Amino acid sequence: MHISDATVGVLVENQYQEIEFWYPVLRFREMGANVIVIGPSADAVYGSKLGHPVRPEFAVGDVRPEDLDAVLIPGGFAPEALRRNAGVLDLVRAVHDRGAVVGAVCHAGWVLASAGLAKGRRLTSVSVIRDDMVNAGAQYLEDAVVRDGNLVTARLPNDVGSWCREIHAAIEDLPARPARSRPLTPTRRVSAVYDLPVRVKQRAVAPGSANYTQYAAAGEPA
């Protein structure tokens, strides 16, 4: 498959790592791929670790596995929330199982573990989650980038360039397929240009609850 014929989904949640998200979004757009940004909700704004806001183009529930030729999972602390979202895990697992490409960098190995995709696979990640990967059954490698079939993993932001090269190669190895009956065409495009940074904050999921959720707020006091 030529990269210009591919649809590449990039997942986002609060506290995503900026380079690991924006580099593949912009690089694969420049290559001519149809890059779509997918979040738990298409109506929410998600903030990066430094406050860069992203409003997804699609909610995870609006995307079918057959819509995607690749799904990429940036790191930061966003994977901690993504791995607890059943819809995200179902999508990542189904994209993988149909033979399309799954890419994960840094802490995104957590999503692979929770989706059951790490067991028996050669992969890498940020070193602080090495034990998580080994306990999930992975054959952990110290390499900057590891490709095992349709699974492409990388360690850190400095490795994202090489990660994208391997993802590109994996997409090019996919067989060509007929035009989609329902191509994903966003009504708006996620842009790196923003007027106001957001602050990622926490709130209890219910009054008196010890469980907290994160949200991105613009213009609220610290």
DSSP character for 83?
T
User: What Rg do the C-alpha atoms of the chain give, in angstroms?
Assistant: 17
Lateral strand order in the sheet of 70-73: 58-59, 34-39, 7-11, 70-73, 101-105, 151-154, 145-148
Q: Is 189 helix (H, G, I), strand (E, B) or coil?
A: coil
C-alpha to C-alpha distance for 137 and 116, rounded to whole angstroms: 9
Check 2, 96, 107, 168 and give the catalytic one.
107
Active site residue 107: yes
Residue 219 structure tokens: 């213009």
Please list the active-site residues.
107
